[in-house]
Structure 1
Amino acid sequence: MERNILKVVNMHVSFKTQTGRITAVRGVSFELNKGETLAIVGESGSGKSVTAKSIMRLLPKHNSEITKGDILYEDRSLLKLSIKKMQEIRGSEISMVFQDPMTSLNPTMKVGKQIMEGLQKHQNLSKTVAHKRALEMMKLVGIPSAEARLEDYPHQFSGGMRQRVVIAMALACNPKVLIADEPTTALDVTIQAQILDLMKDLQQKMDTAIILITHDLGVVANMADRVAVMYAGKIVEQGTLDEIFYNPQHPYTLGLLQSMPKLNEDRSKPLLPILGSPPDLATLGEGCAFAARCPHTMKVCHSFTPQDTVVEDKHTVACWLQDVRTPKEYLPETVVAVNSQ
């Protein structure tokens, strides 16, 4: 059995707002193994990016707090590390690629210097060696005329090329974990495919574990080994790519898949949207957060929060429809028939 490199255990994250404290992440747990890709999917506001920034400890200090749980990297608690030690880990062992590359690049610095900066800080390389390594990374991520382009500023690159520079920066120190937060959302479809292929190629060469945060199930299908589906700050289903795509157990997961167009289906057939809107986390009470939008909602869904139920091996789902504790008289007839087979 492969040992995990990163483990998030029952993490809760809250924010102070004008209307009171809001819990944006509610009991999130998952594991990441060496060399694998875990995709975290869900609608905007489901807590995906907050989860990623919590791992990096990049949440704003003035209004946010990890109130419960732990984050273990190679069996070490990241939450117990000093700020200085955490700064040493960022970039060198755990790196992050953000959605908009311009938020990661300094517009006043040449890109070569920006790549070299991390190498000199984390690996204590000389300027000459760091320059050589930066050039290697620029070539590795497929930037033409790499040596000349080291002297260019971020605004002189296209969006796709800027994202390649950011990936080069993130992987320059050979991190063991790469967190990619919507890395291709701002790019057109052609460039998006190139960036995803680049990430897969670099992962194979460097054996880097990837946490891919996205709302695009097409990206997930091409990249992920395992998938965690988030809704309203909670992971509602988790399993391998095949388990999630071909045997979804949570109504929200099924809704996401049904709302995605498929090439092999009749294009005149309408897509099935998920009706309603995500809940207001400030007023979220007991029960299943998806209950108001779920086509199979039951009385128990509004009163008690569902816990994780093991479907098979590590395929888990938090839904009363699949919980063996749910009395049969509460279940829809179709669900009872399926469960009795």
Structure 2
Amino acid sequence: MEVSGNMAEKILEVDDLKINFNTYNGSVQAIRDVSFDLYKGETLAIVGESGSGKSVTTRSLMGLLAKNARVEKGSITFKGEEILGKSEAQMQKIRGSEIAMIFQDPMTSLDPTMKIGQQIAEPLIKHQHYSKKKAWAKALEMMKMVGIPNAEAHISDYPHQFSGGMRQRIVIAIALIDNPEILIADEPTTALDVTIQAQILHLMKNIQEQSDTSIIFITHDLGVVAGMADRVAVMYAGEIIEIGKVDEVFNFPQHPYTWGLLNSMPTTKTERGKLEAIPGTPPDLLNPPVGDAFAARNRYAIAADEKVKPPFFKLSETHYAATWLLDERAPEVEPPLEVQKRWARFQAEHPEADRSKAVPVDNAAVLGNGGGK
């Protein structure tokens, strides 16, 4: 696919992925027909509430699903090679070296009994067979790269001797030491204060520019990804319900769930007392709804939402949303005032943006559109 005059290199393709979890109460349909792709050097943010399927989706890329998980169908292609069904030994060669992950809580992903230098150096010793001396020298370089002050004096320290922000930098150093093709960041700034959060995001962006790493950024906070992502996929109840370039999803959102997320996010233009929470709770995925999974919480829901799952509607070559409100037979509704303001600003800059011209497409057509920076 051509992007800004250049052919973007597709590095990852997830196609029609369905994952269930076997429980005592039955089979939980955690991931339901999810498709997306990732391009070299881009950042794809996956956003949604807790339980929407964000982390399960990305853990499947690493082969780190729980023992009670069952992949019902689908494909995960990394650099043209199917990785679903690979053995643990095969995945160990990919995990960390080619696809790496930054976890939400650095204290649970760092070994409290092991020196920091050893933890950073270990992937090089394991995957690239570096000598200990050479691996530690590279670990010291990486500590400096991620902004740990006086790294020489602290390379033999233990995790408890570092602050939360410094521990997260160490986790990033471990993830990046092998120069992975894909970096998965699973809520990497949730436990940090806003100042440290901004530093970590800035650090990740700088490292990406230097190494051309592709990033999948998982978060429940749309505000965090505004300056971080190239594209955004919004997940709800195990499905992607809207996907597009960050400007399209933020400023021309089409799914009522995306409206709700944006309407509950404070901005510099938010009037006092105007934030609104999304009412209700996500559906029970033991028995997911037959129609639009968001219908029960959606004050804009129409009759079709209760009966039939909506297809994706194409708004542009890069922007798709799965909502019956884009069907030509749907009644006109007024989204929240904040969303209307976003639409007005976006359409002033993009006169071609016209939601009345959205056309339905099957889910497979969404895959392979919209990559690159």
Q: CA deviation at 1:123?
A: 1.0
SS in 2 for 1:71: strand
2:331 is the counterpart of 1:314: no
Amino acid paired to 2:58: A
SS in 1 for 2:147: coil
2:61 is the counterpart of 1:51: no
Q: CA deviation at 1:269?
A: 4.1
2:364 is the counterpart of 1:339: no
Aligned with 1:97 (options 102, 107, 132)? 102
Aligned pairs for 1:151-300 within 5 A: 151-266=156-271, 268-300=272-304
Amino acid paired to 2:28: I
> Residue 133 of structure 2 aligns with which residue?
128
Amino acid paired to 2:302: M
Between the aligned residues of both structures, percent identity stands at 58
Asked whether the equivalents of residues 296 and 332 of structure 1 are also in contact (C-alpha less than 8 Å), the reply is no
Q: Greater RCO between the two (CA within 8 Å, min separation 6)?
A: 2
Amino acid paired to 1:85: Q
Asked whether the equivalents of residues 237 and 318 of structure 1 are also in contact (C-alpha less than 8 Å), the reply is yes
Looking at structure 2, the residues matched to 223 and 338 of structure 1 have their Cα atoms a distance apart, in angstroms, of 26
2:28 is the counterpart of 1:22: yes
SS in 1 for 2:72: strand
> Residue 7 of structure 1 aligns with which residue?
13
SS in 1 for 2:226: helix
Moved more, 79-88 or 146-155: 79-88
> Residue 114 of structure 2 aligns with which residue?
109
Looking at structure 1, the residues matched to 93 and 319 of structure 2 have their Cα atoms a distance apart, in angstroms, of 35
Looking at structure 1, the residues matched to 12 and 206 of structure 2 have their Cα atoms a distance apart, in angstroms, of 22
Distance 1:338 1:307, change over 3 A: closer
Distance 1:201 1:31, change over 3 A: same
Looking at structure 2, the residues matched to 340 and 182 of structure 1 have their Cα atoms a distance apart, in angstroms, of 36
SS in 2 for 1:185: coil
So what's the TM-score if we normalise by structure 2? 0.87
Q: Which runs of 5+ in 1 are unaligned?
A: none
SS in 1 for 2:84: helix
Asked whether the equivalents of residues 232 and 279 of structure 1 are also in contact (C-alpha less than 8 Å), the reply is yes
> Residue 118 of structure 1 aligns with which residue?
123
Looking at structure 1, the residues matched to 37 and 101 of structure 2 have their Cα atoms a distance apart, in angstroms, of 17
Distance 1:96 1:340, change over 3 A: closer
Looking at structure 2, the residues matched to 339 and 90 of structure 1 have their Cα atoms a distance apart, in angstroms, of 44
Looking at structure 2, the residues matched to 323 and 240 of structure 1 have their Cα atoms a distance apart, in angstroms, of 22
* Moved segments of 4+, more than 4 Å: none
Looking at structure 2, the residues matched to 130 and 225 of structure 1 have their Cα atoms a distance apart, in angstroms, of 33
SS in 1 for 2:29: strand
So what's the TM-score if we normalise by structure 1? 0.95
Q: CA deviation at 1:265?
A: 3.2
Q: CA deviation at 1:290?
A: 0.3
Q: CA deviation at 1:134?
A: 0.3
> Residue 85 of structure 2 aligns with which residue?
80
Q: CA deviation at 1:197?
A: 0.6
Distance 1:38 1:338, change over 3 A: closer
SS in 1 for 2:189: coil
Asked whether the equivalents of residues 12 and 38 of structure 2 are also in contact (C-alpha less than 8 Å), the reply is yes
Looking at structure 2, the residues matched to 323 and 333 of structure 1 have their Cα atoms a distance apart, in angstroms, of 10
Amino acid paired to 1:8: V
Distance 1:109 1:202, change over 3 A: same
2:39 is the counterpart of 1:33: yes
Looking at structure 2, the residues matched to 102 and 340 of structure 1 have their Cα atoms a distance apart, in angstroms, of 50
Q: CA deviation at 1:238?
A: 0.2
Looking at structure 2, the residues matched to 338 and 143 of structure 1 have their Cα atoms a distance apart, in angstroms, of 48
Q: CA deviation at 1:295?
A: 1.6
Aligned with 2:75 (options 70, 76, 81)? 70
Asked whether the equivalents of residues 61 and 76 of structure 2 are also in contact (C-alpha less than 8 Å), the reply is yes
Q: CA deviation at 1:340?
A: 7.7
Q: CA deviation at 1:283?
A: 2.3
2:327 is the counterpart of 1:323: yes
